[in-house]
Amino acid sequence: MPITDQKSDAFKLADLTFHLLAHCREKEIHFAEKHDLTQSEFRCLRYFGTYECMSNKQISQRMKLTPGRLTRIIDSLIIKKYMMREIDPSDRRYMRVNLSESGISLVQQLNKDYADIHSDILSGIDVDQQKPLLTAMSTLVTALKKHGQRNLYSD
């Protein structure tokens, strides 16, 4: 592929990912507001949703937040009764965080709502284009992860 075509494609990809991110943020804001959450609380619950119990350190690394910022988010989710904090029985110096029953219910509802909206999005795309789209998006996510890891270790 000639360099000019590659640069043109790179600009198109940059523009598309910019708009994709903007639309994803709009959905995130909608879901957060619908459930009386901040965007940070919403993101924390979404990241946390696949794990039974994690330490603050694991969550802050996954969300790329400072421990202090994460503590404020988790404190707020505890006040809203979506999370619980307990001393790690294997090492009393550490705290473990897990979802409460209402937190589990909320995450299940968020996951359902997320699946429903993406089902609606897919229904607006020609059936013959759906599988190639999913394949291309999976490839893009894999490439983004590799690029992010490469850049993390090159500094």
Q: CATH no. for residue 42?
A: 1.10.10.10
The pTM of this model reads: 0.78
- On whether residue 148 sits in a domain, the answer given is no
Mean pLDDT of 97-123: 91
Within a domain: residue 84? Answer: yes
Q: Residue 150: inside a domain, yes or no?
A: no
75 in a structural domain: yes
- In this structure, is residue 36 part of a structural domain? yes
Quote the pLDDT of residue 155: 46
Q: Fill in the amino acid letter for 90.
A: S
H helix runs in 35-100, sequence order: 39-48, 56-63, 67-79
Structural domain contains residue 2 = no
Tokens of 58: 């694991």
Tell me the C-alpha distance between 66 and 136, whole Å: 33
pLDDT in tens, 2-56: 667 878 988 999 999 999 999 999 999 999 999 999 999 998 998 876 667 787 7
- Residue at 57 is within a domain: yes
Q: Calculate the CA dihedral of residues 115, 121, 125, 131 and round it to 10 degrees.
A: -30
Question: What total number of domains does the chain contain?
Answer: 1
In a domain, residue 69? The reply is yes
In this predicted structure, the answer to whether residue 130 has a pLDDT above a threshold of 90 is: yes
Domain containing 90: what range? 10-124
